[in-house]
């Protein structure tokens, strides 16, 4: 099986960030920037299209967590050249393989379902995708090795140092 050619796309993240990214092998990588405490940061994010999950190594994590990953369950609306990514509340923090991952914000997900921001059908889909991501990428089952089964995915590792367009804008400033 041959992989699809690389393609530049526009990623619209949470209707706030609009960035040019690179689609390769089921992953979209893009850079975007923000200011925090008077310091400008550039963050690289990766959208795992098959998983419906966006991951990054937060540049704003404290030094003892540098290299850790933050994973967001997202909805992805793929219009070809424009890909809309919307956060779906459930998050996972992934550290080194000898450290347990941490599942976050199930309460926010429940609140969204309870107050109608999330339909029952969308909630069921999100829970299934979150479980599939955990089982495919992180859950070791009975494997005694100290390694994540498939995390970060090889397609992401290949894009960690790729030259990406530094072309983004944010409606928050």
Q: According to DSSP H, which parts of 40-138 are helical? A: 106-114, 120-133
pLDDT digits (tens, 9 = 90+) for 34-90: 998 899 999 999 999 999 999 999 999 999 999 999 999 999 999 989 999 999 999
Q: Per residue in 134-155, pLDDT tens?
A: 999 999 877 777 789 999 999 9
Counting every residue written for the chain, the total comes to: 173
CA dist 12 and 85 (Å) reads 6
- What is this structure's pTM? 0.93
Rounded (10°) angle between helices 120-133 and 106-114: 160
pLDDT given at position 2 = 56
Whose structure tokens read 């030094």?
63
CA diameter of the chain: 48
- Residue 76 dihedral angles phi and psi, to the nearest 5°: -125, 120
Residue with tokens 């933050």: 70
Strands 82-94 vs 7-13: parallel, antiparallel or unpaired: parallel
Digit-coded pLDDT (tens) for 84-97: 999 999 999 999 98
What's the confidence (pLDDT) of residue 141?
A: 76
Token pair for 24:
């390769």
Q: Which residue has the tokens 């960690």?
A: 160
């Amino acid at each position: 099986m041959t992989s699809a050619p690389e393609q530049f796309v526009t990623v619209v993240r949470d209707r706030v960030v609009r960035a040019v990214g690179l689609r390769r092998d089921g992953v979209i990588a893009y850079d975007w920037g923000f200011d925090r405490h008077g310091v400008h940061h550039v963050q690289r994010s990766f959208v795992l299209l098959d998983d419906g999950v966006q991951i990054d190594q937060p540049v704003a994590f404290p030094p003892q967590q540098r290299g850790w990953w933050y994973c967001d369950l997202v909805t992805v609306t793929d219009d070809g050249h424009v890909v809309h990514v919307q956060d779906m509340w459930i998050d996972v923090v992934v550290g080194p393989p000898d450290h347990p991952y941490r599942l976050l914000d199930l309460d926010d997900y429940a609140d969204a379902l309870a107050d109608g921001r999330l339909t029952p059908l969308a909630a069921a889909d999100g829970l299934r995708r979150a479980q599939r991501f955990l089982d495919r990428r992180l859950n070791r089952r009975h494997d005694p090795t100290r390694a994540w089964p498939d995390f970060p995915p090889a397609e992401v590792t290949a894009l960690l140092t790729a030259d990406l367009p530094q072309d983004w804008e944010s409606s928050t400033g």
